[in-house]
Chains A and B, each alone.
Chain A
Amino acid sequence: MRFTLALKNILKSKGRSLTTLLLSLFTTTLFIVYVAFMDGSHHQIIKSSVEIYTGYAHVNLKGYRDESDYGNLIEDASSIDEILRNDTSIKTYAPRFETYALLSGDEKSVGSMIVGIIPSKEEKLSKLASSLSKGEYLNDNDTNAIYIGIKLAERLKITIGSQIAMVGSSIDYSIAADIFTVKGIFKTGLFDFDAQSAFVNKSYLDSVILSDNKATYFTVDFQNNDHINKVTSALQAKLPSQYEAVGWDSLLSSLVQAMLVDSIFGYISISIFFLVIFFVVMIFSYVNIYTRTREIGLLRALGLTSKDIFIILFIEILLLATVAVSIGAIIGGVIAHHYELQPIVIDGIAEMYKDYGLVSDEVPMHFDLFTITWNALTIFILNLLAIVYPALKINKLTATEAMRYV
Chain B
Amino acid sequence: MKLNHITKTFYPDSPKEVKALTDINLTFNKGEFTTLSGESGSGKTTLLNIIGGLDSATSGQIFLDDEEISAYSEKKMAKLRLQEIGFIFQAYNLIHVLTVRENIGFIMKLLKFEDKEIESRILELASILQIENILEKLPGEISGGQQQRVAVARAVASRPKLILADEPTANLDSKNSERLMDMLRTLNEKEHVTVIFASHDKYVLEQSKRIIVLDDGVVIEDR
Q: Are B95 and A303 in contact (CB under 8 A)?
A: no
A354–B109 CA distance with the chains assembled, in angstroms: 68
Q: Are B97 and A301 in contact (CB under 8 A)?
A: no
A403–B74 CA distance with the chains assembled, in angstroms: 17
CB of B131 within 8 Å of the partner chain:
no
Q: Are A1 and B96 in contact (CB under 8 A)?
A: no
**What are 6 A-B contacts with C-beta separation under 8 Å?**
A8-B98, A11-B97, A295-B96, A300-B78, A302-B82, A308-B78
Interface class of chain A by DSSP: helix
Q: Are A302 and B54 in contact (CB under 8 A)?
A: no
A157–B128 CA distance with the chains assembled, in angstroms: 105
A13–B98 CA distance with the chains assembled, in angstroms: 12
Q: Shortest beta-carbon distance, B11 to chain A, in Å?
A: 13
Q: Are A303 and B97 in contact (CB under 8 A)?
A: no
B-chain residues with CB within 8 Å of residue A227 when the two chains form the complex = none
Q: Are A302 and B74 in contact (CB under 8 A)?
A: no
Q: Are B95 and A5 in contact (CB under 8 A)?
A: yes
CB of A400 within 8 Å of the partner chain:
yes
B-chain residues with CB within 8 Å of residue A303 when the two chains form the complex = 78-83, 85, 107, 110
Q: Are A305 and B74 in contact (CB under 8 A)?
A: yes
Q: Shortest beta-carbon distance, B196 to chain A, in Å?
A: 15
A-chain residues with CB within 8 Å of residue B54 when the two chains form the complex = 301, 398-400, 403
Q: Are B107 and A298 in contact (CB under 8 A)?
A: no
Q: Are B78 and A305 in contact (CB under 8 A)?
A: yes
CB of B49 within 8 Å of the partner chain:
yes
CB of B190 within 8 Å of the partner chain:
no
Interface residues of A in 175-208 (CB under 8 A from B): none
CB of B93 within 8 Å of the partner chain:
yes
A-B pairs, 3 with minimum CB distance: A303-B82, A12-B97, A1-B109
Q: Shortest beta-carbon distance, B58 to chain A, in Å?
A: 13
Q: Are A403 and B93 in contact (CB under 8 A)?
A: yes
Interface residues of A in 1-23 (CB under 8 A from B): 1, 4-5, 8-9, 11-13
B-chain residues with CB within 8 Å of residue A298 when the two chains form the complex = 89, 93, 95
CB of A275 within 8 Å of the partner chain:
no
Q: Are B81 and A295 in contact (CB under 8 A)?
A: no
Which of B55, B80, B83, B98 contacts A400 (CB under 8 A)? Answer: B55
Q: Shortest beta-carbon distance, B87 to chain A, in Å?
A: 6
CB of A306 within 8 Å of the partner chain:
yes
Which of A13, A300, A305 contacts B97 (CB under 8 A)? Answer: A13
| Chain B interface residues toward A at CB < 8 A | 49, 52, 54-56, 74-75, 78-83, 85, 87, 89, 93, 95-98, 102, 106-107, 109-110, 138
Across the interface, name the chain B residue whose C-beta is closest to A304. B78
Q: Shortest beta-carbon distance, A313 to chain B, in Å?
A: 14
Q: Shortest beta-carbon distance, A14 to chain B, in Å?
A: 11
Which of B55, B85, B107 contacts A398 (CB under 8 A)? Answer: B55
A-chain residues with CB within 8 Å of residue B87 when the two chains form the complex = 301-302
Q: Shortest beta-carbon distance, A37 to chain B, in Å?
A: 41
Which of B96, B97, B102, B107 contacts A302 (CB under 8 A)? Answer: B107
A390–B54 CA distance with the chains assembled, in angstroms: 22
A4–B80 CA distance with the chains assembled, in angstroms: 23
Q: Shortest beta-carbon distance, B97 to chain A, in Å?
A: 4
B-chain residues with CB within 8 Å of residue A12 when the two chains form the complex = 96-97, 138
Q: Are B75 and A305 in contact (CB under 8 A)?
A: yes
B-chain residues with CB within 8 Å of residue A1 when the two chains form the complex = 106, 109-110
B-chain residues with CB within 8 Å of residue A307 when the two chains form the complex = 75
Across the interface, name the chain B residue whose C-beta is closest to A12. B97
B-chain residues with CB within 8 Å of residue A301 when the two chains form the complex = 52, 54, 81, 87, 89, 93
Across the interface, name the chain B residue whose C-beta is closest to A401. B55
B-chain residues with CB within 8 Å of residue A299 when the two chains form the complex = 95
A294–B110 CA distance with the chains assembled, in angstroms: 20
A-chain residues with CB within 8 Å of residue B95 when the two chains form the complex = 5, 295, 298-299
B-chain residues with CB within 8 Å of residue A11 when the two chains form the complex = 97
Across the interface, name the chain B residue whose C-beta is closest to A7. B97
Known: A5-B95, A11-B97, A12-B96. 9 other contacts (CB 8 A): A1-B110, A8-B102, A298-B93, A298-B95, A301-B54, A302-B106, A303-B85, A403-B89, A403-B93
Across the interface, name the chain A residue whose C-beta is closest to B53. A399
A303–B109 CA distance with the chains assembled, in angstroms: 12
Q: Shortest beta-carbon distance, A113 to chain B, in Å?
A: 74
A303–B53 CA distance with the chains assembled, in angstroms: 10
A398–B10 CA distance with the chains assembled, in angstroms: 14
Q: Shortest beta-carbon distance, A299 to chain B, in Å?
A: 8
Across the interface, name the chain B residue whose C-beta is closest to A395. B74
Q: Mark A282-313, 1 if CB is under 8 A from B, else 0.
A: 00000000000011001111111111100000
Across the interface, name the chain A residue whose C-beta is closest to B73. A305
A304–B81 CA distance with the chains assembled, in angstroms: 9
Q: Shortest beta-carbon distance, A177 to chain B, in Å?
A: 91
A307–B41 CA distance with the chains assembled, in angstroms: 33
